[in-house]
Chains A and B, each alone.
Chain A
């Protein structure tokens, strides 16, 4: 099946650090990539949608200056958490979808971000 690779799987860093997470589709062209955040015992919460070559669309309540998204190619999207603080600690997960209708999203394995 389709493979999406997300790195790193775990990050522990000090408050104020910026952290970049990469999401790659390994065997298909991802015209659209999604970034989610999951809180404990909650469902996946969509943060933003990015289409290759265009600006990301952020969901209500998500700070675009805090969570920078770049989708530079059909196989790579990055999420940068800028000046991270403890409240940004969470599980971040990306997904990618190919071209055409009724294409499922394929997910990476997520990144556990811990800000000290």
Chain B
């Protein structure tokens, strides 16, 4: 049973436009959500996170939105740049519970291609 789902395996966007990456989750105990970016042959790089007490967190060109009632979060990248082309992973944890429930559960990733 997949607790974190990224239903779009790929997304193609024109440079300068907005990229919207989506993520759904099923476990209502998740209270901490993260986005990672991964280039080939490298480990994931932490991008941005949000805790469940917020519905929006912004860092430069990256904004994460959280809709708890819909169990949905999204990552907005604006303006998109060719260097943003990578695989983006959504992850979630039930951090307040500690132990193994504090571990990250990852989605399968969405491959973003930003075309010049």
A interface residue numbers (CB < 8 A to B): 1-2, 4, 6, 34, 42-44, 46, 49, 57, 93, 95, 101-102, 104-110, 112
Contacts and interface: CB of A to CB of B under 8 A. Distances in A.
A4 B46 contact: no
Nearest to B96: A101
Interface in B10-27: none
Interface of B: 32, 34, 36, 41-46, 49, 51, 89, 95-96, 100, 103-104, 106-109
Given A6-B43, A107-B36, A107-B43, A43 B49 contact: no
Q: Which 10 A-B pairs have the closest CB atoms?
A: A107-B43, A109-B43, A104-B46, A43-B106, A43-B108, A107-B44, A44-B106, A109-B42, A108-B43, A110-B43
Given A44-B106, A102-B32, A104-B49, A109 B96 contact: no
Given A43-B107, A49-B103, A4 B43 contact: yes
B105 to A, nearest CB: 8
Contacts of B89: 43-44
Nearest to B35: A104
14 contacts: A1-B45, A44-B106, A49-B103, A95-B43, A102-B49, A102-B95, A104-B34, A104-B46, A105-B104, A106-B46, A107-B36, A109-B42, A109-B43, A110-B43
